[in-house]
Structure 1
Amino acid sequence: MNVPRKHVERLKRPETGDGPTGLQAGGDSPVEVKLGTFLDNTRRRAAKLSVERRADLNALDMRW
């Protein structure tokens, strides 16, 4: 994955309460996920990640 640090994904809120913890269902405004910041921080902290976490990210074509 090659995403600029300032990249933000806007996701539609779930119709039911099945979303991530703390996320309210419904509503008109999308949920903003700062994907670029997450990936940049993950790359900087790569040495601290578990083997399983690195394998999961590699499966998503993570660019280290």
Structure 2
Amino acid sequence: DPRARSAQSLAALFPGGQAQPDLPAALELARRKAKESGALLVVAGSFYLAGEVLDRVGI
């Protein structure tokens, strides 16, 4: 799709943004950063992504 952007180019749009190779790596990094800063972790995306995240965090 010519309108699609790579994960790296999207990450570059956000200060501190980082692209990860897969969901487990992304979730591990996000959870660690949220815990370190005391921030709330919000996951946005498709129902498929939300379901995968819920399965991985045991909800």
TM-score by shorter chain over 0.5: no
**TM-score, structure 1 as length reference:** 0.31
Query: Quick one: higher RCO (CA 8 Å, sep 6+), 1 or 2?
Result: 1
Q: Between Structure 1 and Structure 2, which shows a larger proportion of strand residues?
A: 1
**TM-score, structure 2 as length reference:** 0.32
Q: Between Structure 1 and Structure 2, which shows a larger proportion of helix residues?
A: 2
**Structure with max Cα Rg:** 1
